[in-house]
């Protein structure tokens, strides 16, 4: 299958999936008990009717639904219920760069630290260094970020006063959230790299490379790495999805004004328009990202068939 | 599977019988000291939490002592007490009951759905398989965590809802693993033999094929339990999971994180219990995978 055909086919899957998510979320939100103005139940009927009109809630449900779908295509989800002066789109565009920065640093850090650890562990398989690295990696995978976060705050911010414990102002404030978010991925990527490298190092073409008299750094770094880190590349898609999930917690712990914190708050506030907008935004972002990664994967390993 | 062999043949062949998968796996497992230690520690943790209500000397986790308030760890309260004077050790042990129960029950739910779905899809093949696996693909691509959050926020935040939400997600990988196994197993002669003897589809799938997929299923199940415990803790941390007066490790960490600066022990001990349990499950799962490695099985040609 050609690359273009592959992309077209994937887009043809993404669009109906997004429609399913949009529909599901829309009706879930509307079937939920309690209206959006529950807290303001005492307001006069006329004012309430006015509010309902503003948000289009006086329309029949199918009208609201078609209206919602038509606007969603343009990323227009109307004003937030909780903060009527703000558009949902505005909030998303403001919060996304924050989340992207947090997630991007965390992923970058995870690759930059995890890959070398995994390579060293694989090259020195069954040595003390290997066992130590893999034991630590398993511990890193096992400590939940919402445990690690408070512990790091306790150690570095509240006892040693070297870093701010929360908020998102200045470079120092980035350290703890990024560290908290990335630890599990450093560990997991180290494990993946080790596994991938061990598999590759056993292969004939590596023996050939060594027999040709190539130096060990060239054999490992140039010949083995290229295939050995494939598991890591294919993990970047799911990792991004998980980092987004993790960032919900990390943003809550450190009061980072990103998408995750808005989502949790919106869900608790029954801010329907904001929830709908955020969920759809997340979903489409993830799917497009996965498509990009699949394409990148084929560039790296020509043996991969597009299917 | 030694259990599939009739007892008579087993007796006559006992002296020459080759080492079965399970004996072989057990031997390899025992050599992995980290995995055995993790398994033993898990057994101890499970025993303590199950026996919690009858443990002598363990205070009632809900008994308040407002005069005492929050105190650091001491001889009377090993893990200290919280703002209401409740014993943290008792709360951690009882929290473990909920965490482990959620982990096991939701895993069981995902196990039953996943194995059945994967086995039927793989065995039927053709269009049924295509359709069933496409459903799995689509569910896979859903950002389920948001749907879980929505379900829990807008509807009831009961433990039952938690089981449904977590179980609904976790069966997908299991279905894929089992399907892959079944695809290769159904070509083998013992399946043909069973069919020739008149076994119907359900009998072939569940009596003959599914038991042979146990190796990978056990490994994946061992890794699913900690994943679910972690997700329950994650949801509880956000205030969406287990609701008071019940408390899981996730809610304990969440409560403790709020008073972190004042009473750090309220985060440290439940966090430690949670992390240690997850670590043990992961070590055990790793060991089991090495022991039951499907690529290294001698009995499946």
- For residue A42, what pLDDT band results from cuts at 50, 70 and 90? low
Question: What is the distance, to the nearest Å, from the Cα of residue B241 to the centroid of all Cα atoms in its chain?
Answer: 17
CB hemisphere CA count around B126 (13 angstroms): 2
Total residue length of chain B: 301
Neighbour-count burial for B197-217, b at 16+ CB within 10 Å, e otherwise: eeeeeeebbeebbbebbbbbb
For the cut 50, the answer to whether the pLDDT of residue B1 exceeds it is no
The three state secondary structure string of B88-105 is HHHHHHHHHHHHHHHHHH
Using the Cβ of B275 and the Cβ atoms of chain A, whether some distance falls under 8 Å is answered with: yes
For the cut 50, the answer to whether the pLDDT of residue B300 exceeds it is no
B267/A142 CB distance under 8 A: no
pLDDT digits (tens, 9 = 90+) for B239-271: 777 777 778 888 888 888 777 777 778 888 888
For the cut 60, the answer to whether the pLDDT of residue B118 exceeds it is yes
pLDDT digits (tens, 9 = 90+) for B184-196: 888 888 888 888 8
What's the mean per-residue pLDDT of chain A?
A: 80
For the cut 70, the answer to whether the pLDDT of residue A32 exceeds it is no
- pLDDT for the residue B180: 85
> What residues pair up with A87 in beta bridges, in sequence order?
A79
Shortest CA distance to A289 belongs to which of A241, A253, A247? A241
For the cut 50, the answer to whether the pLDDT of residue B9 exceeds it is no
For the cut 70, the answer to whether the pLDDT of residue B5 exceeds it is no
What's the mean per-residue pLDDT of chain B?
A: 78
Task: Give ∠ CA B250-B251-B257 in degrees, rounded to 5.
Answer: 90
A154/B155 CB distance under 8 A: no
Q: Of A138, A241, A248, which is closest to B282 when you measure between CB atoms?
A: A138
Q: Of B143, B257, B268, which is closest to A286 when you measure between CB atoms?
A: B143
Cβ neighbours of A245 in B, within 8 Å: 145, 234
Distance CA B39, CA B36 (A): 5
pLDDT digits (tens, 9 = 90+) for A183-198: 888 988 998 898 888 8
- For residue A35, what pLDDT band results from cuts at 50, 70 and 90? low
Distance from CA of A223 to the nearest CA of B (A): 25
For the cut 80, the answer to whether the pLDDT of residue A132 exceeds it is yes
- pLDDT for the residue A38: 56
For the cut 60, the answer to whether the pLDDT of residue B147 exceeds it is yes
For the cut 60, the answer to whether the pLDDT of residue A39 exceeds it is no
A150/B256 CB distance under 8 A: yes
Q: Of B150, B253, B278, which is closest to A146 when you measure between CB atoms?
A: B253
For the cut 80, the answer to whether the pLDDT of residue A165 exceeds it is no
- pLDDT for the residue A50: 74
Angle between helices A230-254 and A172-201 (to 10 degrees): 160
Two structure tokens written together for B249 = 């490790």
For the cut 80, the answer to whether the pLDDT of residue B85 exceeds it is no
Please answer whether residues B154 and B213 qualify as being in contact, where contact means their C-beta atoms are separated by less than 8 angstroms. no
Kindly identify which residue of chain B lies nearest to residue A151, measuring between CA atoms.
B268
Task: Give ∠ CA A208-A210-A216 in degrees, rounded to 5.
Answer: 145
The three state secondary structure string of A259-279 is HHHHHHHHHHHCCHHHHHHHH
Kindly identify which residue of chain B lies nearest to residue A281, measuring between CA atoms.
B143
Two structure tokens written together for A230 = 């494939």
Distance CA A260, CA A252 (A): 8
- pLDDT for the residue A113: 92
For the cut 80, the answer to whether the pLDDT of residue A30 exceeds it is no
CA dihedral of residues B232, B237, B241, B246 (deg, nearest 10) = 100
Please answer whether residues B273 and B96 qualify as being in contact, where contact means their C-beta atoms are separated by less than 8 angstroms. yes
Cβ neighbours of A253 in B, within 8 Å: 257
For A157, A239, B13, B259, the CA distances from A181, given in Å and listed in that order, are 16, 11, 57, 21
**B291 or B36, higher pLDDT:** B36
For the cut 80, the answer to whether the pLDDT of residue B96 exceeds it is yes
Write out the DSSP string of B259-298.
TTTT-THHHHHHHHHHHHHHHHHHHHHHHHHHHT-GGG-S
Sign of the CA dihedral with A37 first, then A38, A43, and A48 last: positive
Shortest CA distance to B180 belongs to which of B203, B205, B213, B204? B213
pLDDT above 70 covers what percent of chain A?
86
For the cut 60, the answer to whether the pLDDT of residue B16 exceeds it is no
A17/B138 CB distance under 8 A: yes
Please answer whether residues B242 and B96 qualify as being in contact, where contact means their C-beta atoms are separated by less than 8 angstroms. no
- For residue B62, what pLDDT band results from cuts at 50, 70 and 90? confident
- For residue B2, what pLDDT band results from cuts at 50, 70 and 90? very low
pLDDT digits (tens, 9 = 90+) for A70-128: 888 877 777 777 777 788 888 888 888 888 888 889 999 999 999 999 999 888 888 88
Q: Hey, how many other C-beta atoms are within 10 angstroms of the C-beta on B22?
A: 17
Cβ neighbours of A25 in B, within 8 Å: 146-147, 150
Distance from CA of B251 to the nearest CA of A (A): 11
Task: Give ∠ CA B175-A187-B168 in degrees, rounded to 5.
Answer: 25
């Amino acid at each position: 299958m050609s690359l273009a055909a592959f992309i077209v086919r994937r887009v043809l899957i993404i669009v109906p999936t997004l429609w399913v998510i949009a529909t599901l979320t829309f009706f879930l939100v509307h079937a939920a008990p309690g209206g959006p103005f529950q807290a303001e139940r005492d307001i006069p009927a006329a004012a309430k009717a006015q509010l309902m009109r503003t948000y289009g809630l006086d329309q029949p449900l199918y009208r609201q639904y078609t209206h919602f779908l038509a606007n969603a295509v343009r990323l227009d989800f109307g004003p937030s219920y909780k903060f009527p002066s703000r558009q949902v789109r505005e909030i998303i565009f403001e919060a996304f760069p924050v989340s992207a920065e947090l997630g991007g640093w965390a992923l970058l850090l995870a690759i930059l630290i995890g890959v070398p650890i995994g390579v060293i562990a694989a090259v020195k398989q069954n040595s003390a260094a290997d066992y130590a690295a893999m034991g630590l990696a398993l511990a890193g995978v096992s400590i939940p970020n919402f445990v690690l976060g408070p512990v790091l705050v306790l150690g570095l911010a509240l006892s040693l006063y070297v870093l701010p414990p929360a908020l998102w102002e200045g470079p120092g404030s980035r350290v703890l959230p990024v560290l908290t978010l990335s630890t599990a991925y450093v560990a997991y990527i180290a494990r993946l790299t080790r596994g991938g490298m061990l598999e590759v190092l056993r292969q004939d073409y590596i023996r050939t490379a060594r027999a040709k008299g190539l130096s060990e750094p060239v054999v490992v770094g140039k010949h083995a790495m290229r295939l050995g880190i494939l598991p890591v590349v294919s993990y970047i898609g799911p990792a991004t999805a998980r980092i987004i999930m993790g960032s919900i917690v990390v943003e809550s712990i450190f009061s980072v004004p990103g998408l995750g914190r808005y989502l949790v708050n919106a869900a608790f506030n029954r801010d329907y328009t904001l929830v709908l907008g955020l969920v759809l935004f997340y979903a489409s972002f993830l799917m497009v990202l996965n498509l990009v990664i699949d394409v990148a994967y084929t560039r790296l390993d020509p043996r991969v068939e597009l299917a | 599977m030694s259990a599939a062999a009739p007892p008579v043949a087993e007796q006559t062949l006992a002296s020459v019988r080759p080492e079965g998968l399970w004996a072989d796996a057990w031997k390899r497992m025992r050599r992995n000291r980290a995995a055995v230690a993790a398994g033993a520690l898990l057994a101890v943790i499970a025993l303590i939490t199950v026996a919690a209500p009858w443990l002598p000397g363990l205070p009632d986790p809900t008994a308040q002592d407002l005069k005492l308030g929050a105190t650091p760890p001491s001889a009377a309260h090993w893990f200290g007490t919280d703002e209401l004077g409740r014993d943290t050790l008792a709360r951690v042990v009882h929290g473990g009951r909920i965490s482990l129960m959620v982990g096991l029950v939701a895993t069981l739910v995902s196990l039953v759905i996943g194995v059945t779905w994967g086995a039927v899809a793989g065995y039927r093949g053709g269009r049924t398989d295509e359709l069933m696996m496409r459903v799995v693909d689509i569910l896979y691509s859903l950002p389920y965590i948001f749907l879980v959050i929505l379900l829990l926020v807008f509807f009831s935040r009961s433990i039952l809802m938690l089981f449904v939400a977590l179980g609904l997600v976790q069966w997908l990988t299991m279905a894929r693993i089992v399907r892959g196994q079944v695809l290769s197993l159904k070509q083998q002669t013992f399946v043909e033999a069973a069919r020739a003897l008149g076994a119907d589809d359900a009998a072939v799938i569940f009596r003959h094929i599914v038991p042979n997929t146990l190796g990978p299923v056990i490994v994946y199940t061992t890794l699913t339990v900690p994943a679910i415990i972690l997700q329950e803790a994650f949801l509880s941390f956000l205030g969406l999971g287990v609701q008071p007066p019940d408390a899981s490790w996730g809610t304990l960490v969440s409560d403790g994180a709020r008073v972190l600066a004042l009473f750090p022990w309220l985060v440290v001990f439940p966090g430690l219990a949670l992390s240690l349990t997850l670590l043990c499950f992961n070590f055990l799962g790793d060991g089991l995978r090495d022991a039951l490695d499907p690529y290294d099985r001698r009995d499946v040609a």
